[in-house]
Structure 1
Amino acid sequence: MKILHVCAVGFTVKNLLKPQINYFLSKGLSVEVACSPGLEVEQLQQQGYIIHTIQTERRIDPVSNLSSVYQLAQLMRERHYDLVHVHTPIAAVLGRIAAKLAGVKRIIYTAHGFPFHDQSSKSQYRFYFNVEKFSALLTDLILSQSYEDVIKAQKSGLCPPEKIRYLGNGVDIDRFNRDRLNTAEQAQLRASLGIPNTANLIVGTIGRLTRKKGSEYLIEAAAKLLTQFPNLHILVIGGQLNTDPEPFQLELVERIQKLGIENHVTLTGYREDTPELLGLLDIFTLPTFTHEGLPRSILEAMSMSLPVVATDIRGCREAIVHEETGLIIPPQNSEKLAEALSKLLSNQDLRQAYGKAGRKRVEAEYDERIVFERLQTAYKDLDVWPK
């Protein structure tokens, strides 16, 4: 069986798709990828992954988009794939059109959160819904990371009910396990990041530095909290992609400086040691306010036995059980974020209770092996699995 994954950038392959690619490679399947060129792609190619570089914009650009469709279709005809599996909004549409033109036997789309959602304007919602509805006609099966999107698709008539099913999201619960941490190495990591010795409470977040991830609300909340918790430190894990349509890092740095809290904030940039970084935290937060499926960062934090504060949007409210594994707050509200963080910062026993419950929830619901098995079942149901 020969599979081609299509997405926009190597970041997606490296940080989201690599575990499932490895799983199916271990099963003896042929798995390749098509995405835009970049540093992550070069690194993955050096590791032996087969990646075809086709420039795929993350925005609507008719000339570039048509070029991507042409090149993708040409690749698919030449390589004779049994299955094309598409990801990320723009690439998923272009990949499905190309696969249909190339006569690929089966087409699957993983919806990492539909681009229409309850935070969309009416015009945005209508546009993206219609694009997704058209694309669904070209798709044999849609796999959703969230139950909410499954229900929405079925109720709205996006596609026939049997064409969409729940996939979920998962993490490596062995790698993301607090018991693996080494105390001396954690102390060295903390020192290397320049976190002051006086910082006895650390709140962190993970995500690309885009406006929609809501890191500015965390910075504003931190400024409010420093009077009550003068030794608080904020760890922002993640960087900014060159391809991000809304670069935000400079604006975030300026905001930190304007609030005068530079000594209380560390921006780590992109890192490979996420479990160890999470191990430094007392609380994890994801103040995102828009396009999410089921955030892996939340699952990683829960797997590391951390309490989580996140916003009342799709995916976040599904992963977190309010007042059991964490707290759910309104989006784009630094005041409510500060209140929730204050509640947890003031109560170590509550933090530990939420963290313990979060770990148990991840073990039961979000072990990545469960997701791999669901995906394997989907492939078999489409009759493309080798006999």
Structure 2
Amino acid sequence: MRIMHLSRASIMVWQFLLPLIEEQTRRGHNVSVCGSDDAYADTLREQGIHVVTHQLERSLNPWAIVKAIVCIKRHIRAQEIDVLVCHSPLGAGVGRLAGWWAGVPCCVYFAHGLPCVPGQNKIKWICWLLIEKSLARMTDALLVMNQYDEQLGRRHLMTSPQQVTRVPGMGIDLARYHGGSSQAVRQQLAQSLGVSQHAKFVLCIAYMIPAKGIYVYFQAAQKICQVRDDVVFLIAGDGPHEKALETAAFATGLGDRFHVLGWRDDIDELMRACDIFTLPTYYFEGLPVSILEAMACSKPVVATQHRGCEDVVVPGETGCLVPVRKASALARALLKCIMDEPLCRRLGEAGRRRVEREFELTHCTRVIADAIEKACVR
């Protein structure tokens, strides 16, 4: 089959879809990508992947969207695509419209988190639901990653419940993410930050926007720093609020305790160097990869009672879950782990076993590839 993966941003394909593309190619499919025209598209081409671009920006400008739909439709017809797999809300919306117009035989929406989020403003939630319900008429199959999206898709979006398939996320490379020795990495990290390697390191990895809980994390750090002087807080990632968060840390006198690391390519080493991982998100999560990576590195996880997080973290077994937007609750949960090393060790070991059992990369990749193939024969 001729399969096209469509995403608004090529970085998403580069970060998450390469194993799936390799597996589909291994099975004899002709796989291409339609994404943004940038350095990540060039990187994909260097790896031998056929990439076309759509010029779709992160914008709701009607004229730009219409131009993108026309462009994608032309790519689909030119390549005689059999299966269009759409990723991300904006890319999937535009992609499904283009696929319907182009007459693609099979259109799959791979939802890495539906835009209808628990706790969302009701009007916004209903608007997103109506949009997704309309687009579902142009969708042959919906792949989701969590229970909330699975139930929403089966009850409210797709014509038949059989059109909805829940997959276990994109999977984790257990050879890269493991709980091996981190002493050298920890020592190097502590030296670069000018702190003691014997400090307790709390790590958050997130795109720098409020919905990822970055300011909730900062507020929790402030509370903990009032009662402990041996805890160092780290946050890695880029985004529009990176500088603002760093400025807030220095403005409140936490510049030596709260470190904004920016974009990092050594996430696996950071995971192994830290003591506790946290992600206080209330974003459009599907299945948070960073949480799974931390669990694979045998780290205890403190996350939120939110879609996706609840599907990964087992409270009391692999970590803790706290209410969203509650810095005090987050601080209490982090302090509990900070003060109890045996608990951290037990939670971390259980987390590693859970990832080995359910979220290993090859297993997840094959499940997704199977689901896409089955969608085409319904």
TM-score (norm 1): 0.92
Query: In the alignment, does 2:346 pair up with 1:359?
Result: no
Cross-structure match for 2:215: 216
Does the C-alpha gap of structure 1 residues 50 and 183 become closer, same or farther in structure 2, counting only changes over 3 Å? farther
Give RMSD over aligned pairs.
1.8
Is the 8 Å Cα contact of residues 82 and 384 (structure 1) preserved in structure 2? no
Does the C-alpha gap of structure 1 residues 195 and 173 become closer, same or farther in structure 2, counting only changes over 3 Å? farther
Deviation at 1:199, TM superposition (A): 5.2
Cross-structure match for 1:121: 121
Deviation at 1:186, TM superposition (A): 4.8
Query: In the alignment, does 2:230 pair up with 1:231?
Result: yes
SS of the counterpart of 2:150? helix
Identity of aligned residues (%): 30
Does the C-alpha gap of structure 1 residues 336 and 50 become closer, same or farther in structure 2, counting only changes over 3 Å? same
Deviating 4+ runs (over 4 angstroms): none
User: Quick one: which of 253, 258, 269 aligns to 1:260?
Assistant: 253
Cα shift readout 1:124-181 (whole Å, capped 9, x = no counterpart): 11110011111111111100011221112223355421111111212112221123x5
What letter is aligned with 1:218? Y
What letter is aligned with 2:216? Y
Distance 1:195 1:218 in 2: 21
Q: How do 1:163-202 residues align onto structure 2 when only pairs under 5 Å count? A: 163-169=163-169, 170-179=171-180, 181=181, 183-191=183-191, 193-197=192-196, 200-202=199-201
Is the 8 Å Cα contact of residues 142 and 153 (structure 2) preserved in structure 1? no
Name stretches of at least 5 consecutive residues in structure 1 with no aligned partner. 241-246
Name stretches of at least 5 consecutive residues in structure 2 with no aligned partner. none
Point out the more displaced range, 372-381 or 64-73: 372-381
TM-score (norm 2): 0.95
Deviation at 1:357, TM superposition (A): 0.7
Cross-structure match for 2:204: 205
Is the 8 Å Cα contact of residues 185 and 273 (structure 2) preserved in structure 1? no
Deviation at 1:215, TM superposition (A): 1.0
Cross-structure match for 1:322: 315
Distance 1:103 1:21 in 2: 23
Distance 2:304 2:58 in 1: 25
Query: In the alignment, does 2:52 pair up with 1:52?
Result: yes
Number of residue pairs matched by the alignment: 377
User: Quick one: which of 288, 308, 314 aligns to 1:295?
Assistant: 288
What letter is aligned with 1:342? L
SS of the counterpart of 2:203? strand
Is the 8 Å Cα contact of residues 108 and 375 (structure 2) preserved in structure 1? no
What letter is aligned with 1:294? L
Is the 8 Å Cα contact of residues 190 and 280 (structure 1) preserved in structure 2? no
SS of the counterpart of 1:279? helix
What letter is aligned with 1:305? S
Distance 2:267 2:256 in 1: 22
Is the 8 Å Cα contact of residues 233 and 264 (structure 1) preserved in structure 2? yes
User: Quick one: which of 351, 366, 369 aligns to 2:362?
Assistant: 369
Distance 2:2 2:186 in 1: 42
Query: In the alignment, does 2:371 pair up with 1:378?
Result: yes
Is the 8 Å Cα contact of residues 199 and 233 (structure 1) preserved in structure 2? no
Point out the more displaced range, 37-46 or 80-89: 37-46
Point out the more displaced range, 157-166 or 222-231: 157-166
